[in-house]
């Protein structure tokens, strides 16, 4: 199997993630780079003490999609239409793959803050009380609760797959699912 060294990189997780590593070479003699972050199926991984993802790129993509929507239909669409478009077209960009990745409380809060900022812009207010009222009126779930729901669904489907999967991975999925319930 040939390895494309222009697309392949190494990333390190664990207590010694900052320790310099010796360079790796492919069979052809090309160097494989060590990086601080890399993209793996649409999710950006970040070298750190524990397995961690980098939310910067998904936030940028989300805001790019929202601003594109705003530029096209903000003046002619009502709030309900805009909320529907954002929830169907932009929120999936923000949530892509996050249900399968570990997120800490700070990550979830930063994603919730993005939603609050967006609603403040949409409803033309700087008051969180107004935003909370609008969330109740339009039945808008917080991003962190959407992640929890999607994670439960993901783990439930994962546990129902063929038993040829390693039992320790299934045990870990069961523990995560029990923690969510």
CB 38 within 8 A of CB 52: no
Q: What pLDDT is stored for residue 111 in this prediction?
A: 94
pLDDT at 65 over 60: yes
Q: Which residue has the higher pLDDT, 137 or 180?
A: 137
Compute, in degrees rounded to 10, the torsion defined by CA atoms 12, 149, 172, 167. Answer: -110
Instruction: Give the pLDDT confidence of 131-154 residue by residue, as tens digits.
Output: 999 999 999 999 999 999 988 888
pTM of the model as a whole: 0.78
Long-range contacts formed by 111-117: CB under 8 A, 24+ apart: 111/55, 111/59, 111/143, 111/144, 111/147, 112/142, 112/143, 112/144, 114/59, 114/62, 114/63, 114/143, 115/140, 115/142, 115/143
pLDDT for the residue numbered 26: 83
Is 145 or 174 the better-scoring residue by pLDDT?
145
Q: 84-131: per-residue pLDDT in tens?
A: 999 999 999 999 988 888 888 999 999 999 999 999 999 999 999 999
100 Cβ neighbours under 8 A, 6+ residues apart: 151, 154
Is 173 a residue whose pLDDT tops 80?
no
**Residue pair 135/144 in contact by the 8 Å Cβ criterion:** no
Reported as a pLDDT band with limits 50, 70 and 90, residue 164 is low
Supply the pLDDT for residue 53.
87
What pLDDT does residue 166 have? 64
- Indicate the domain borders of the chain: 9-52, 55-154
Say what the pLDDT of residue 68 is.
93
Q: In this predicted structure, what is the pLDDT of residue 168?
A: 66
| Residue pLDDT, tens place only, 1-58 | 678 888 888 889 889 888 888 888 888 888 888 898 888 888 888 998 888 888 999 9
d(CA 93, CA 57): 10
Asked if the model's pLDDT at residue 176 lies above 60, the reply is yes
């Amino acid at each position: 199997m040939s390895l494309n060294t222009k697309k392949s990189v190494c990333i390190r997780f664990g207590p010694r993630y900052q320790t310099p590593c010796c360079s790796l070479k492919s069979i052809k003699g090309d160097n494989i780079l060590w990086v601080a972050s890399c993209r793996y199926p649409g999710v950006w991984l970040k070298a750190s003490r524990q397995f961690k993802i980098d939310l910067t790129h998904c936030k940028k993509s989300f805001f790019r999609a929202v601003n594109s929507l705003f530029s096209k239909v903000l003046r002619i669409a009502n709030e309900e239409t805009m909320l529907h478009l954002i929830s169907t077209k932009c929120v999936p960009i923000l949530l892509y793959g996050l249900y399968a990745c570990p997120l800490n409380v700070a990550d979830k809060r930063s994603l919730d803050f993005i939603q609050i900022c967006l609603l403040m812009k949409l409803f033309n207010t700087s008051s969180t009380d107004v935003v909370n009222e609008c969330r109740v009126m339009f039945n808008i779930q917080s991003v962190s609760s959407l992640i929890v729901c999607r994670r439960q669904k993901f783990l439930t489907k994962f546990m129902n797959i063929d038993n040829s999967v390693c039992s320790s991975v299934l045990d870990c999925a069961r523990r995560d699912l029990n923690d969510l319930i």
